[in-house]
Structures are given as C-alpha cells and as structure tokens.
Amino acid sequence: MSNYQLKVENIIEEIKKIDAHTVGLQFPEGLKIYATLVARQIEDETGAEVIISGDPSFGACDVSDASMKDVVDLLVHFGHTPLHLEYEVPVLFVEAQFQLDVIPAIKEALNLLENYKIIGLVTTTQHLHILDEAAYFLEKEAKTIIMKEGQGTRKAQVLGCNFSAVEELPVDVFLYVGSGNFHPLGIKLSTNKTVIIADPYRNEARNIDQFADRILKIRFARITKAREAKKFGIIVSSKKGQLRMELAKNLKSMIHKEGKEAYIIFMDHVSPELLIPFMDLDAFLVTACPRIAIDDAQMYKKPLLTPEELLIVLDKKKWEDYKIDEIKYVNGNQ
Amino acid sequence: MSNYQLKVENIIEEIKKIDAHTVGLQFPEGLKIYATLVARQIEDETGAEVIISGDPSFGACDVSDASMKDVVDLLVHFGHTPLHLEYEVPVLFVEAQFQLDVIPAIKEALNLLENYKIIGLVTTTQHLHILDEAAYFLEKEAKTIIMKEGQGTRKAQVLGCNFSAVEELPVDVFLYVGSGNFHPLGIKLSTNKTVIIADPYRNEARNIDQFADRILKIRFARITKAREAKKFGIIVSSKKGQLRMELAKNLKSMIHKEGKEAYIIFMDHVSPELLIPFMDLDAFLVTACPRIAIDDAQMYKKPLLTPEELLIVLDKKKWEDYKIDEIKYVNGNQ
C-alpha cells in the first residue's frame, strides 16, 4: 500500500479474535486515500461491516471513539501512537510505518553535524522504526547518540504538542528525521539547542534557525497586537486529547483580573470560518492543539495566541522566556 | 437584541431554579453574533460560568449535548424547537422569535393568491408566533386557512427535513411565510401543489416554480451522472438527529446487489474538503441532512444524492415520483 505499512493482516486477526461485527477505521488525512482499499479487504476477509471515519484526524488526541461508541465494536486508528486517555470503545492503534530509506538524508545532514559530537536523535510516529538503523549509521561516523522516552511518548518520539522526549537531554545538537518544520521548531523552542532536519522525503538536510526566526517574528507581532485586546475568546476543544477546560477557566480568571473580558468557546474542529461570527472579540487564546495558533496564524484575521503567549501579553512572563505550548497526557491527566 | 427575542430573563430564571453552575449556549449561525452579549448578561446576573458552543448549529438535529455532557449542567439551545430525541444533558430550547411585521409581505402575496380560496399557511420556527395574525388577516380577505401539526413539528411548522405538517392537507395552495427557497421547495415536492412565498425580510412575494424547475434540472443531471458510478460513498452523520445508520446499511446492501461497491463514511460536519481524499468514489449518498445534497450541490465535484434519488439511479423508482428526502423523528425513531 504505497510506502505505508498498514498491517491489515494484524487488523484482520484482531477482528476475528474479538469477533467484531462492525469495525471503524480512522485515518489521518494523508492516509485516507487508502480507506476504501483497507475497508474492502477487511470486509472480504472477515465479513465484518466497516465504517470509515470521515472526520479530520490530526493525532491520537482526536480518536473518534466517542462519536463511534454506539456504532462499532472495534475502532482501528491509523498513524498515531496512543495517548494515556480512556477510550469509549476498544481501539487498535496501527502506526503506519513509512517505508523509506532515511540514510541518504542523514548523509546530507553530516556536514551540518560536523562540529557536534553528541546527537539527540528525534522523529515522529511514522519513522520510529528507523531509529536503530539511523543511530547505527551515525555511531559509525563517530557520533554519540542519546535518546529517551518522553512523558507519554516513545523513545525519541515527539508530537506536535509534546516535546518531553527532548527536554533536558544532554546533547550538543538535535537531529530530527522527518518532514515539515513544526516539530523541529518545537524541539528548538523547548531546548534552545541547534536542530538539524534530515528530510527523507526530499533527501535533504537543513537547519531550523531561519524558519524559527520567521515564526518568532510573527509571534511577536501577534503578541504585540493582542496587548490592545479588550475582549478575548478562549477556545477549548471538545476533542478528548485537547480538552483543557481547567486551563481555560484559569486563563479567563487571569484576564478578568486585568479588567478585560473573556469568553470560553467550546468547539470540535477550529477553523477561521467558525470564528467569524464572534466579531466583537479582539483576540483568541487556543487551549486546543498548539499547532493551530502557530501553523495556521496567517489564516486568521484576529491574533490567535497560545496560553504561554498570553502570559507574555499580560506581562507575567518575558518574551525572552518564550516557550512552545504543550499538552502532556500522563495517566489521563495533562 | 436586534430583531430577535432571545428571552434571556427566562434563561436566567431557569439557571437559578436548577442552580446550574456551568451553562452552555448554542446558537445557530445567524444568532452567534449575540453570543458574548448573552453570555455576559448571564454571568453577571447568575454567577454561573458560561461556555459558548462554537460548532456549527443548523438545527435541533445537532444539539451539542453529547460533547458538552461533562462540561455543563444546562445547555441552552437557541433558534430551534426540540426533536423527539433523548439529550444527554438538560436542554432548554429558546425559539428566538423574529420580530418583524409579516403583513406587508402577505399583502404582496395576495395577487398571487387571487385564484385560490383554501390556503395552507406554513412557516419556520422563528416566525411561528405570527401565524394567528397572518391567518386573521387572510380570513378578512375571504380566504380559508388550514394548518396542522406534523410528525414531531408544531402547527404549520416545516423543517428542512420534515414536511409532514403540509402532507395531505386539503388546500388549493400553500403560502409560506419566511425567507429562502429550500423550505418552499420541499413543500412543493412533498405536495405537488402551488407554493407562494411571502418574504417578510424583503417585503416581496413570489412563486417557487422557477426555483423548483432549476433545482430539478440539477437533480436530474446528478442522477444521470450517478448511473455511471461503480463505487459509492454513503455518508452517515454522527449528529444525533441526522444519524441514519440502518438506512445507510440498507442502501449499501442494495448497491452491492447491483454488483457495485459501497462504503459507509461516518462524519460530523460534511464538507467538500473532507470528501476529497475519497477520490476513488464516483458518487456519494447523503443520509445526513437532506439539504446537503440539494443546497450545496454546486460545491461538490462528485454527485451527491439523497437516498430517494438512489432509488431512481437504480431504477427502483420513477423520476416522475421524485420526492424530497425527510427525517421524521417521532418518539426517538425515524
């Protein structure tokens, strides 16, 4: 199935084992194109009825167990590792390993790693299976590799909202194996260390610094604009793994104490269109996925801030101590 | 509060009566602009914490009781009358009467009603309170007015998915008081009778025929295109009042018997973007809100059909017997 290992045989085995009659399939956006293929194979080989989730799925934070609880006996969630959450229906997590040779990209990164000895190796779910091979390659190049588990994440794994696997790691530099800029940005902002990206999709390597500078300039502008805000909207997600209501209520009290207004807005998927009716609000705080305020900043007319950024707006924290927002679930608690 | 009666005093009374500490507010799109104003008034006068729902709300079919059940003690749902559904949290329905003189528009309609004696008067939730005044005016013009309750709807009330209040009503013509074309279209397609619209927002009257012709041409084109489809997606909504899973499973069996493929896709909000990854499917059946396939047809690249329309595609029903799709909840059952 393209370059992804979806382990359909294991899924079929599990369905037969628990005698599931109705099976839900939930794919992240990039894997949804395989949905009907997987569904047909499961229906043909087990006789179970398959229900495909069409909702957006960006992480294990939005497993569709609640909406599917009366609909399926088993939910198969692809592409993410489980969080420490209680699910309302049995969930089988299938990591969807991406089959791609990462060594060429790491070779490209060697130049950028020249002056560093101790490397923190980091990646995301779909590449976790390449860590040993990558470490072996780098050790042959006389590097020392350090990796650790995070709070609720695997060894060397970061999520868009959880960088605990890189925190306080005694390394000279981080090597992030994967695509995109958000995760390496988070690593940099969590650790203040140099982060090199080895991108196995493009077989190229780069430093995150330029991107981080650009993002920080945007954040500074948003924070400056939000200092003028008199009315805040505080967005809370109903997605189980993003639901930080207590935090939202604390932020609301904090804003009230400054003599400003604040309103809690509870919603599933956050989008620019859905905030348009709240036209009297001057700025929004996003307690949902930390990526919304950062990655999607340009899509919104009003400033969207993370809870960390509000502290800077209200002069409770210095700009120099800027941190990325994180949601760390450990045993069901943030 | 503009032209809408949101009855905030009644809400405050209810909050005090049941001693609610956390109150959810859910507004349809057109009323969301009043959300913060209502929230502030409630918080100031009761001390309760208000949580505003930011999810889209198109009807009593998508009350956010399930997502808010652990978050609020009371949910206030504006703009719709309750369906016969079990809600997971106490729900107070506030109809949000629109304060507008409807007589000028009805006067405009008199010309179009000239050749008719017995009139079926029909409207939507926000105008139900004007029925008596409208009937009195028309009776003075020597008309006979007939109205009845529907299955799960009030006297003379139609929903976008429920036209039972007009079915088999022995009238010469229908007079629909309200805006938009979808409801009068539904009345026409349910009854095959002439429908005159008195639009109190524009103070004008018109016949629905031209609009109905245009829509039926589009429907015919979609049905024709769907005859070539080999793979169908069957969309089921997770919104409690739109969740027709049994119907979806029946449609799937029906399609299989024709030697074609069908996949059930389960989702909350239906949008063109969310169907893009299912690129191998040739046509979609929408068992969710009947308006999606009809109103939003032009937004989708692939044909979206109602369950009724599938029957025509599969030659189980004649085009001449075209009916609008309806979801009638009576005592919790469709």
B297/B217 Cα distance (integer angstroms): 12
- Please state the domain extents for chain A: 4-96, 103-207, 213-321
Angle (CA) A246 A247 A253, round 5°: 90
Contact between chains at B36 and A274 (C-beta distance less than 8 A): no
Cβ neighbours for A269, distance < 8 A, ≥ 6 positions apart: A55, A56, B268, B269
Helix (H) or strand (E) holding B267: strand B261-267
Query: Which chain B residues have any C-beta within 8 angstroms of a chain A C-beta?
Result: 24, 29, 32-33, 35-36, 39-40, 49-56, 64, 66-68, 71, 231, 235-236, 238, 245, 249, 261, 263-270, 274-275, 277-281
DSSP state at residue A334: -
Domain A213-321, CATH class in plain words: alpha beta
Q: Is A170 helix (H, G, I), strand (E, B) or coil?
A: coil
pLDDT, tens only, A195-252: 999 999 999 999 999 999 999 999 999 999 999 999 999 999 999 999 999 999 999 9
pLDDT, tens only, A40-55: 999 999 999 999 999 9
Assess contact for A268 and A240: CB atoms under 8 A: no
Helix (H) or strand (E) holding B119: strand B118-123
A186/A166 Cα distance (integer angstroms): 10
Question: By CA distance, what is B68's nearest residue in A?
Answer: A238
pLDDT, tens only, B61-71: 999 999 999 99
- Using CB atoms, which residue from A231, A245, A265 is nearest to B54? A265
Summary mean pLDDT of chain B: 94
**pLDDT over threshold 80, residue A13:** yes
Fold of the domain spanning A4-96: Rossmann fold (3.40.50)
Tell me the count of A-B CB pairs closer than 8 A. Answer: 125
**pLDDT over threshold 60, residue A312:** yes
B272/B290 Cα distance (integer angstroms): 16
Question: By CA distance, what is B253's nearest residue in A?
Answer: A49
Contact between chains at A245 and B39 (C-beta distance less than 8 A): no
Assess contact for B65 and B92: CB atoms under 8 A: no
Please report the pLDDT score of residue A333 as a whole number.
44
DSSP output for B315-331: TSS-GGG--------BT
Percent of chain A having pLDDT more than 70?
A: 97
**pLDDT over threshold 50, residue B94:** yes
Please report the pLDDT score of residue B90 as a whole number.
96
Domain B103-207, CATH class in plain words: alpha beta
Going by their DSSP bridges, the two strands A97-98 and A4-5 should be labelled as antiparallel
Which is it for the CA torsion A128, A133, A138, A144, positive or negative?
positive
Please report the pLDDT score of residue B328 as a whole number.
83
- Using CB atoms, which residue from B36, B50, B263 is nearest to A39? B263
- Using CB atoms, which residue from B55, B270, B280 is nearest to A36? B280
pLDDT, tens only, B205-244: 999 999 999 999 999 999 999 999 999 999 999 999 999 9
**Confidence label for A328 from pLDDT (cuts 50, 70 and 90):** confident
Question: By CA distance, what is B277's nearest residue in A?
Answer: A33
**pLDDT over threshold 90, residue A16:** yes
Could you tell me if residue B228 is left (phi over 0), alpha (psi between -120 and 50 degrees) or otherwise beta?
alpha
Q: Smallest Cα–Cα separation from A212: which of A176, A188, A177, A196?
A: A188
Cβ neighbours for A12, distance < 8 A, ≥ 6 positions apart: A41, A42, A45, A46
pLDDT, tens only, A71-87: 999 999 999 999 988 99
Q: List C-alpha distances in Å: B65 to A7, B23, B55, B85.
A: 37, 12, 12, 11
How many angstroms away from the CA of B278 is the closest CA of chain A?
6
Cβ contacts (< 8 Å) between A249 and chain B: which residues?
A: 49
Q: Cβ atoms within 10 A of the Cβ of A55, count?
A: 19
Q: Smallest Cα–Cα separation from A222: which of A280, A145, A168, A284?
A: A284
Q: What ipTM was estimated for this complex? A: 0.91
Please report the pLDDT score of residue A5 as a whole number.
80
Q: How many residues are recorded in chain A?
A: 334
Cβ contacts (< 8 Å) between A236 and chain B: which residues?
A: 51
pTM: 0.92
Percent of chain B having pLDDT more than 90?
A: 91
**pLDDT over threshold 80, residue A331:** no
Assess contact for A292 and A304: CB atoms under 8 A: yes
Assess contact for B286 and B306: CB atoms under 8 A: yes
Mean pLDDT of B40-58: 96
Percent of chain A having pLDDT more than 90?
A: 91
Domains A103-207 and A213-321 share a fold: yes
B173/B195 Cα distance (integer angstroms): 6
